[in-house]
Structure 1
Amino acid sequence: MRTGDSGLTGLASRAGRWLGVAVVLNGAAAAMLVLQLIVLARIVADLAFQSHGFGAEAGRAGWLAALLAGRALLVWLADMAAATAGMKVATALRADVLAHLLRVGPLGMAGLGAGEAVTTLTDGIDALEPYVAHYLPRAAMMAVMPLMILACVAGLDGWSFAILACTGPLIPLFMALVGYRAQAIMDRQWTQLLLLGSSFLDFLQGMTTLRLFGHARQAAAAVACMADDYRRTTLSVMRVAFLTSAALEFFASLSIALVAVVFGARLLAGHADFRTAFLVLLLAPEYFMPLRAFSASYHARQNATVAMRRVAALLALPEAPAAVAPAEPLRGAVAAIACADLSAGYDAGGAPVLEHASCQFLRDELTVVVGESGAGKTTLMRLLLGLLAPSAGRVVALDEGGQAVAGPWRDRIGWVPQRPCLPFGTVADILRLGAPDADLARLRAAAAQADALAFIEALPQGFDTPVGERGARLSGGQARRLALTRALVRDPAILILDEPTADLDPESEKRVAEAIRHAVPGRIVIVTTHRQAVIAQADRLFSVAGGALRPLSISERAAA
C-alpha cells in the first residue's frame, strides 16, 4: 500500500465520533427518504385510481410533510457533523506536523524547501478536509442507501431488482478505470503547485537582488509561466471529472430508462400495478443518487492521496537528538562547557567535519572561534546547541567543582544566529519571544546591557513601535542589538553568537562588539566570527581548520 493510501486510512480514525455521527444521520435520512417515497406513491395511487379526495389523504400528506422536514433536518445535521470532523482532522494534523517539525529542528529540515513545507502545511492539509467531510460520508452512503433501496425493490418487483443490481456496479467500475488516469494528473498538479509555491517564495525573498540585477521581469514571467502550467493541469483534472460524471449519468439514465420501458410494457399487458411501478420509478433515481454524490467527491480522495504523501514525508523526518529533554530539573550552576574528543559530520560514512576536538568554554570569559568558511565553526555551534549529535565524544556542562551538571542545561542557552529572525510585531513583542512574562523593567535592563536602549527609546513609540517584517524599519546594527537583547532577556547562563557583526559598517560593528563584551560577566559567551572588532575583545581564541580545533597563542591571535 502506498504511503498516501495508508495515511488516508488513519484519517477516518482521527475524525472520531463526528464522522460516525454523520454516517448514522445520513443512514437515518436515507431510511426516511424510502418511507417518504412509499407514502408519496400511496397518495398518488389512491388519488388517481381509488377515487379518493384530497381530504381523505390529509393524514398521509401530514406524514409526508413530517418525513420531508425530518429528512432535511437530518441531512443538515449530518453535513454539520461531517464538516466538523473535517475541520478537526485538519487542525489536529496541522498541529501534529508543526510540532514534529519543531522536534526535527533546523538541521533536519535543511534539505527541505521552505515553499514546499509551507504549501504542504497549508494547501496540502486543507486538501484533506474535503476527503473527511465529503468523500468518507458519501462512500459510506454509497454502500448503505443502494442496498436499502435494492432490498425494497426486491420485495416489489424482481425484474427491476435484476436491472438495478446489474447496472449499479458498472458505475464504480468505470470510475475506478478513469481514476487511474486522474491520479497521474493529480500527482502532476500537486508537483506543479509545490514548484509554484517554492519559486514564488524564493522570488519574493530575493526581490531586491533581482531588481538590482535587472531580472525582476524575468522572474515575474517565470512565475506566470508556472502558474499557467498549473492552470492547464487543473483543467485536465476537470476534464477527467466531467468525463466521470458523464459516464455515470449515461449508465444511470440507461438503467432508469430500462426499468421504465419494462414496467411500461408490463402495465400495458396488465402484469403490473401502477403503485408498484410508480414507487420503483421513484426509487430508481435515488438508487443512483449516492453514486452521483460519490463521483462528485471522488477527486477529493485523489487530491488527498497526493497531499498525504507530502504530509507523510514531513512526518518521516527524523527528530533531532535533543528533541526529548531530560525529565530531571537542572541542578547546579553552569561554570564551564567541556567538549571531549568530539567528532561529527553530516553524511554517514563520509569524512567528519570535526574530528577529535577537545576544549573548554569558561564562565566570565569571551571565547571567540575563528576559521575559514566551511572549516567547521557552524558544526561546533550545532553540537553545543544540541542540534547535531556527535559521532564520537560528548559535550557536557560542568559546575564549580568540575562535576557534570545534571538536567537540561541547554535550556539556559541564549542563541543569536547570523541572520536573526525578527517577526512582525512591536519591539516588546519581539523581545518577549525569549521570555513571554518579562515586564518592561526587565526589557529595559536587557536592552541597556545590549546597548539597544537608546535607539529603542528614540523610536516613535518606544518599545511599542512596530518594526516591520524581518525588522524592515531597523538598520543592520540595530537589528543585531535587538536580537542580542532578546537573548539576554532570558538571562541565559550560556550565550552563543554566530557572526554577530557580519555585513555591518565599522561603527555598528564596534557597538555590537562592545555590547557582547558587556554581556560576559556571569556567563559563558561563545562567538564565531571573522571580524577584528570582536576578536580584539576575546579572552580566549580557538581556531577551526582541517577538522581540528586548537587554541591560538598571543602571536597567532595578532595574526588572526
Structure 2
Amino acid sequence: MQDRGTHTLPGLIRLSAIPLGVAIGLGGVCAALLVVQMGCLARIVDDLAFRSHPFSAEHALISSLLAATLARCLLQWCADMAGERAGILAVSSLRQHLFRHLFRVGPVGLAGEETGAIATALTDGIDTLHPYIAQYLPRAAAMVVLPLLILGVVAGLDGWSFLILACTGPLIPVFMALVGFRAQAMMDRQWTQLLLLGSSFLDSLQGLTTLRLFGRARERVSLVIQMAEGHRQSTMQVMRVAFLTSAVLEFFSSLAIALVAIVFGARLLTGHVTFYTAFFVLLLAPEYFAPLRAFSASYHARQNAVSAMTRLSALMALPELQGDAPSSLPSAPLATIICRDLRTGYGDGPDVLLSLSATFGSDVLSVITGASGSGKSTLIRLLLGMMPVRSGKISGLDEAGHPIPQKAWKIGWVPQAPTLLDGTIADTLRLAAPDADIEHLRKAASLAGVLTFIENLPDGFDTKVGEHGAALSGGEIRRLVLARALLTDPQVLVFDEPTADLDPENAARVAASIQRLAQGRIVIAISHRPDVLSRAGQVLCLRDGRLVPEMDKGIAA
C-alpha cells in the first residue's frame, strides 16, 4: 500500500516538500531584494532632487539598484519554476497513488461508485490541486514574509507609518476569513454539480442507443443542459464573490496607502520627517499589500483543492481487495485449486456463498452452472482475487503438493461481454503483453482457433477492429479475447458464459477451443449451455450459494 497520507492536503504537500521549500526560500530572498531595491531608488531620488548630487556620483547606487532588480527578477522566475515543479510533482504522485489504489480496490469494490464521478475526480479534481501547490502555498508564505520584513524596516524609519500599516494589514486576512466560509460552501456546491454533470453526461453517452429507441434522447439532453446551466450559475456566483473580495481588498489597501501619504504630506510640510524616509516608506507601502492581494487572488485555489480533496479522499478510503503480485513467481506450475468452506458477500450484505468447498484440477474442464443469483459469478470473483473471503480458504498447489500463493497465480480472464479498444488486431492482443512479437501473436491466435481467420483478412494482424470490435462478429470477438488471454501463457483460464449469444457453429468452435486448452492448465467456465456442459470433466451446480448434486443441474439451470 502506498502512503495513505497522500489522501490529505498536508500529505500532498509532503510529496513536494523540496521544490516547494525552494520556492518559498527564493521568495524570501526576493522580498529582501525588494527592500534593497526600493531603498536604493529612494536614496537616488533624494540625492538628485534634494542634495544636489551629480548623476555621476550615483553610479554605485544605480548599479546596486540594477543588480537588485535583475537578481530579484531572476530569483522570482526560479521561485515560480520551483512552485510549478512542486505542483507537477504533487499532482503526478497523487494520480499514480490513486490509480494504484483503485486497481487494488478492484471492479467489485468500485461497483458502487459512479463512473462519471470517478473520471471527473481523476481529471478535473486532481488538476485543481496544481494551483493550490504551485501558487497558493508560495503566496501564503510570501504574505507572511514580505509584510513582516517591510513592517520591520518601516518600524525603524517611522513610527506613525508602522502603526498605520500594522493596523490596516490584518484587516485583509480577517475579511478573507469571513468571506471564505461563504465561498467554501459555494465551491462545494459547484464541485458537487460538476461531479453530477460528469456522471450524467457519461451515462447519457453510454445509454444513447437505448434512449433513442425509447424516444427519450431529447429529454435526457435537456436534463444535461439544465445541469450544465446550474453548474454555470454556481461558477458565476463563485466568481462574483471572488471579484467582490478583490474589490474590497483593493479598497482597504488603497485607503491605507492614501492615509500614509496624507500623514507624510502633513509632516513634510512641518519638517518633522525627511523626504528620503517618506519616499522610502511610500515605495514600500504598496509592496506591503501586494502579497496580500496576490494571496487573495489565489485563495479560490485553496477552496477548489479542499472541495476536490473531499471526493479524492473518499476514493482513497475505499478498502483494498487486491495486493501486488510477488516479485518472483514460483517455478512449478499451478496444478490444483482447493476451496474450503468459502463464505463471502458484498459490502455489509448477507453471505452469497455458504460453506462452499470445491477442487479444480488441471487437464479438466470444470463448468460452474446454476440459476441466476446462485453465486456463480461470486465464486469466480473470489478465484480472480476481486473479492475478500469472509471465512474459509482458497489455496493453490503445484504437482508436488507445495502451496502457491493466490497472488502468484497467472490467470487469464475471458468475460461474457469482452471489451476491445479501437485499433488493430495486433494492438488488441498486445494489450495483455505489450512486448509480444508477431510469432507470439500467431501462437496465441492458433491456440484460440482464430489464426486462419486473421490471416485471411486483407491486412492480417494490422486489420482495424473498430471501437468495441464493431468490424467483427460476436464469435470472432470471443476468440480474439481468448487469444489475448493466452498470450501471457496463463496457468488458470476462467470463462464467463463463453458461448452465450453465439450461433451454433461459432459456439461449437469456442467450446472446442476451451476443451482443448484444458490440457496442462486449470480451466473453469460459467455456463448453462449444452455445448460447454457436454465437454466438461467436472460440473459444479450451485443453488442459493451452495453446491447441489450434479443430477440437479438441469433444474438449477
| CA distance in 1: counterparts of 2:435 and 2:60, whole angstroms | 69
SS in 1 for 2:366: strand
Distance 1:413 1:454, change over 3 A: same
SS in 2 for 1:353: strand
> 1:505 — aligned with what?
503
TM-score, normalization by structure 1: 0.94
Residues 325, 408 of structure 2: 8 Å contact kept = no
| CA distance in 1: counterparts of 2:17 and 2:5, whole angstroms | 20
| CA distance in 2: counterparts of 1:252 and 1:373, whole angstroms | 71
> 2:429 — aligned with what?
431
Distance 1:220 1:210, change over 3 A: same
Residues 371, 543 of structure 2: 8 Å contact kept = yes
| CA distance in 2: counterparts of 1:51 and 1:72, whole angstroms | 31
Q: Give the aligned residue type for 1:419.
A: A
SS in 2 for 1:388: coil
Pairing 1:416–2:414 present? yes
Distance 1:286 1:244, change over 3 A: same
- The Cα offsets for residues 378-411 of structure 1, whole Å up to 9 and x where unpaired, read as 111011112222222212223335x353344652
| Structure 2: gaps of 5 or more residues | none
Distance 1:416 1:268, change over 3 A: same
> 1:352 — aligned with what?
351
> 1:469 — aligned with what?
467
SS in 2 for 1:496: strand
Residues 426, 466 of structure 1: 8 Å contact kept = yes
Matches within 5 A, 1:176-255: 176-255=177-256
> 2:520 — aligned with what?
522
| CA distance in 2: counterparts of 1:178 and 1:409, whole angstroms | 52
| CA distance in 1: counterparts of 2:177 and 2:6, whole angstroms | 15
| CA distance in 2: counterparts of 1:324 and 1:488, whole angstroms | 21
Q: Give the aligned residue type for 2:528.
A: H
Q: Which of residues 492, 495, 501 in structure 1 aligns to 2:493?
A: 495
- The Cα offsets for residues 13-63 of structure 1, whole Å up to 9 and x where unpaired, read as 211211111111111111111111111111111221122233332332222
Q: Give the aligned residue type for 2:246.
A: S
Per the TM alignment, residue 458 of structure 1 is displaced from its structure 2 partner at its CA by 3.2
> 1:393 — aligned with what?
392
- The Cα offsets for residues 149-196 of structure 1, whole Å up to 9 and x where unpaired, read as 001111110000000000000000000000000000110011011111
Distance 1:347 1:112, change over 3 A: closer
Matches within 5 A, 1:226-375: 226-320=227-321, 322-325=322-325, 329-348=329-348, 350-375=349-374
| CA distance in 1: counterparts of 2:225 and 2:458, whole angstroms | 40
Distance 1:6 1:352, change over 3 A: closer
Distance 1:443 1:163, change over 3 A: same
Q: Give the aligned residue type for 1:361.
A: F
Q: Give the aligned residue type for 2:106.
A: G
Q: Give the aligned residue type for 1:311.
A: L
| CA distance in 2: counterparts of 1:152 and 1:334, whole angstroms | 76
Per the TM alignment, residue 81 of structure 1 is displaced from its structure 2 partner at its CA by 0.8
SS in 2 for 1:434: coil
Residues 327, 407 of structure 1: 8 Å contact kept = no
Residues 329, 407 of structure 1: 8 Å contact kept = no
| CA distance in 2: counterparts of 1:104 and 1:397, whole angstroms | 23
Distance 1:12 1:276, change over 3 A: same
Per the TM alignment, residue 498 of structure 1 is displaced from its structure 2 partner at its CA by 0.9
Pairing 1:25–2:26 present? yes
| CA distance in 2: counterparts of 1:326 and 1:84, whole angstroms | 33
- The Cα offsets for residues 453-484 of structure 1, whole Å up to 9 and x where unpaired, read as 12222334221233233323322222111111
| Structure 1: gaps of 5 or more residues | none
Worse-matched range after superposition: 243-252 or 170-179: 243-252
SS in 1 for 2:357: strand
Per the TM alignment, residue 548 of structure 1 is displaced from its structure 2 partner at its CA by 0.8
Per the TM alignment, residue 275 of structure 1 is displaced from its structure 2 partner at its CA by 1.3
Tell me the matched-pair count.
554
Matches within 5 A, 1:49-64: 49-64=50-65
| CA distance in 1: counterparts of 2:6 and 2:489, whole angstroms | 49
| CA distance in 2: counterparts of 1:185 and 1:104, whole angstroms | 32
> 1:548 — aligned with what?
546
- The Cα offsets for residues 307-341 of structure 1, whole Å up to 9 and x where unpaired, read as 11111111111111x41445674253333222222
Per the TM alignment, residue 345 of structure 1 is displaced from its structure 2 partner at its CA by 1.5
Per the TM alignment, residue 442 of structure 1 is displaced from its structure 2 partner at its CA by 1.9
- The Cα offsets for residues 213-232 of structure 1, whole Å up to 9 and x where unpaired, read as 22222222222211111111
Worse-matched range after superposition: 143-152 or 195-204: 195-204
Residues 4, 307 of structure 1: 8 Å contact kept = no
> 2:74 — aligned with what?
73
Per the TM alignment, residue 5 of structure 1 is displaced from its structure 2 partner at its CA by 12
Distance 1:551 1:327, change over 3 A: farther
Residues 452, 482 of structure 1: 8 Å contact kept = yes
SS in 2 for 1:204: helix
- The Cα offsets for residues 481-520 of structure 1, whole Å up to 9 and x where unpaired, read as 1111111112222111112223333333333222222222
Per the TM alignment, residue 202 of structure 1 is displaced from its structure 2 partner at its CA by 1.2
Distance 1:459 1:233, change over 3 A: farther
TM-score, normalization by structure 2: 0.95
| CA distance in 2: counterparts of 1:15 and 1:409, whole angstroms | 33
| CA distance in 1: counterparts of 2:549 and 2:482, whole angstroms | 26
| CA distance in 2: counterparts of 1:113 and 1:411, whole angstroms | 30
Residues 7, 312 of structure 2: 8 Å contact kept = no
Q: Give the aligned residue type for 2:389.
A: P
Q: Give the aligned residue type for 1:97.
A: L
Worse-matched range after superposition: 176-185 or 422-431: 422-431
Distance 1:310 1:31, change over 3 A: same
Identity %: 58
Per the TM alignment, residue 342 of structure 1 is displaced from its structure 2 partner at its CA by 1.6
